[in-house]
Structure 1
Amino acid sequence: MNIPASGWRTGADRNAQAGALFDEGLRQHMLRVYNYMGLGLVLTGLVAYIVGNTPALYVPIFSSPLKWVVMLAPLAFVLVFSFKIQTMSAATAQAAFWGFCAVMGLSMASIFLVFTGASIANTFFIAASMFGATSLYGYTTKRDLTQMGSFLIMGLIGVVIASVANIFIGSSALQFAVSVIGIIVFVGLTAWDTQNIKEQYAEHFSDESRQKMAVFGAFSLFLNFVNIFQLLLNFTGERE
């Protein structure tokens, strides 16, 4: 049976239109992810700056056992997001994300007590450049990064264990090794997470699901960026 050329063109036009709609939806989704992440960083930075430069706030926190609560509170949010994101509503996920960003700002306020403002700003821009380049790679690459992800997760576990051990050991050599390996791990995770966020997007998902996906994607990338920044600060930061 012969199919008229116009039929082929109609089918091709429909496929092209569907592809264009999908690409636009994906672009809007990724833009939402980066917007959440960017606003989260602004909130974290503001809280850290205000607390770190206000003695009435940082003295009661960092001169008492309360500092351990502040330092460990972000971990509680990480656990909540990891195990409860599927059962959260989109509104609850957003509220938890903003709360996490604020608490992270509290825990990071101490950097303003240790490092100069200029070195903090310089490190931030270096970290932003590294993050931007690797996230762009993760978004545009045709290479499947799935296998790389499993090695990165193992590396992350090793970095966490070594960091905890070094709290008691206090080895500068171990701290240096943790910082170097940690930067490599989180740079790799940035590319891996970006590709996952892109591939998990599906046009048929409900607005509620897309909203939660965007929040969780922003949360993942936010963690990568903050860790890159903090580890870089060990190398580039000038102490007060």
Structure 2
Amino acid sequence: MNDYDQTGRRMVNNSFGMNKFLTKTYGWMALSVFISGIVSYLMGSVYHASLGLIPSIVGIVIWFGLAMATSSVAMKNSSLGFILFMAFSVLTGGLYSYIFISYSTTVIAQAFLTATVDFVVMALIGITTKKNLDKIGTQALGALIALIIVSIINAFLRIPAFGFVISIIAVIIFTILIAYDSQKVKDAYNEYGSDIPENGLAIYGAMTLYLDFINLFLQLLSIFGGNDRD
């Protein structure tokens, strides 16, 4: 009887811990999206400011550096990792401030709403499905690498129709990755939750999901706003 009670108690604690972890992960992810949106809106819509060529190049270099540093630092020092994550969100908002200059508010709202619905549905699928998504997730990552190469080529060719097709494919890829990464975040807690600080894992997961969402939003924005730029 004693053994049964102890087993049951561990299962309840694991379930509670998982729910707490996921709430924290998605909460921080939502906070980072909110911060990026506010910074982008203030710079682009209120102050009508966007970064020039040189500042943008420097910003992109720092952006990549922060992206790599945040995940690494968070595993060792979650407080510093969180600060870097928020700084990363602010920088992302600044880099994409041109959105509020180039696109109408209606198009931005349509893209954001669609991305949000897509994200919520696929995240729920990733968290709740019992099917292992490793295979399809790996295929999506491979397709993303190929798509990046094709996008670079198209940057020189400048074929609008080709760019539209690329955006459609990218939406499909990031939709799959949202489910895949959501499952990986859950699996990471189950596998490493007792070895790595929970906050560090949550920041790592929030960063991954944030990047999925932002890229999905940008591709949808490109599709919806292709012929509707201010």
User: Shared topology, TM-score over 0.5?
Assistant: yes
Distance in 2, Cα, partners of 1:31 & 1:214: 9
Unaligned runs of 5+ in 2: none
Give the TM-score normalised by structure 1: 0.87
1:193 aligned onto 2:172: no
1:139 aligned onto 2:131: no
Distance in 2, Cα, partners of 1:65 & 1:229: 25
Closer, same or farther: CA 174–74 of 1 in aligned 2, 3 Å? farther
Give the TM-score normalised by structure 2: 0.91
What's 1:75 paired with? 64
Q: Deviations over 1:172-195 (max 9, x none)?
A: 132122111111111111111111
2:35–2:90: 8 Å Cα contact kept in structure 1?
yes
1:166 aligned onto 2:154: yes
What's 1:3 paired with? none
What's 1:41 paired with? 33
Aligned-residue Cα RMSD (Å) equals: 2.0
Distance in 2, Cα, partners of 1:169 & 1:204: 47
Unaligned runs of 5+ in 1: 1-6
Task: Name the % identity.
Answer: 26
Distance in 2, Cα, partners of 1:114 & 1:22: 47
CA drift of 1:56 comes to 6.6
CA drift of 1:72 comes to 4.7
What's 1:239 paired with? 229
Distance in 2, Cα, partners of 1:78 & 1:204: 22
Q: Deviations over 1:203-240 (max 9, x none)?
A: 8626x621110001000000000011000011222321
Distance in 1, Cα, partners of 2:113 & 2:218: 12
1:227 aligned onto 2:215: yes
1:101 aligned onto 2:89: yes
Distance in 1, Cα, partners of 2:152 & 2:209: 23
What's 1:91 paired with? 79
Closer, same or farther: CA 225–87 of 1 in aligned 2, 3 Å? closer
